[in-house]
Amino acid sequence: MNVQAPALPTVVTQDCHVLMIEEEEGIRCVLLESPTYSLGRDKKNSIVLPASKAVSRFHAMLLRIPGTNSSGYSYRIVDGDATGKLSTNGVVVNGERTTSHTLIEGDAVMLGNVKASYRLLTLSSSGLNQVSVEGIDIRSTLPHTFNPHATLTKEHVAQSGMNNTMPPAEEDLPPTMFFKKAPKKTAP
């Protein structure tokens, strides 16, 4: 008699590449899915950085490259714009100035005086529906017909009530979530 153990369910996972940008009001989380992104203070960038004289108008680029993780790709940050002109104050990754660096989970990035970090989150399909950051259910802020490959629009922001820092022409921008800093507690 040949007895087989019951088959275990297959867990499907998905990697989510996220750039977390520290701003004065809180942290902006940008979901990275496109092949290229431009970063800088100019509103023509796909990821607009906080206005600062230390940040160039076109400061850096993120390029999706083949990788070894389960999503099959990772991102490389390159100092400067698409024409090769380097930014004024450069790109620093994990304390070292660089003109090009393949990002890995947890990398700390400085773009001028703007702090950012690169996160690679691996989520199961059920976990993707229960993502939360500091008690805020991210999925509850998204439209009910959320497509993870879609770009958030003004209508989505208005429906969800998100505090979002998207520039006016957001049609080609990556999905962005904004989390306000908790107010500082004063000692009694």
Domain containing residue 29: CATH number: 2.60.200.20
Total domains in the fold of the chain = 1
One digit per residue, the tens of pLDDT, for the chain of length 188 reads 677 766 666 656 677 899 999 988 888 999 998 999 999 999 999 999 988 899 999 999 999 999 765 558 999 999 999 999 999 999 999 999 999 999 999 999 999 999 999 998 876 655 555 444 444 444 444 333 333 333 333 343 344 343 333 333 444 555 556 565 556 666 66
Tokens of residue 143, six digits: 């439209």
Cα dihedral 49, 50, 53, 54 in deg (nearest 10): -60
For residues 64-75, b (16+ Cβ closer than 10 Å) or e, as one string? beebeeebebbb
Q: For residue 1, is it within any domain?
A: no
Element spanning 28, H or E: strand 26-32
Residue 139, φ and ψ in degrees, nearest 5: -60, -30
Would residue 97 count as lying in a domain? yes
Q: How far is CA 38 from CA 5, 55, 160, in A?
A: 52, 13, 27
**Does residue 187 fall inside a structural domain?**
no
What distances in angstroms separate CA 184 from CA 22, 29, 116, 188, one per listed residue? Answer: 17, 21, 22, 13
Q: Is residue 166 part of a domain?
A: yes
Question: Is residue 3 assigned to a domain?
Answer: no
Q: Is there a domain that residue 188 lies in? A: no
Separation between Cα atoms, residue 37 and residue 47, nearest integer Å: 7
Please give the Cα distance from 89 to 92 (Å, whole number).
9
> Domain containing 127: what range?
13-178
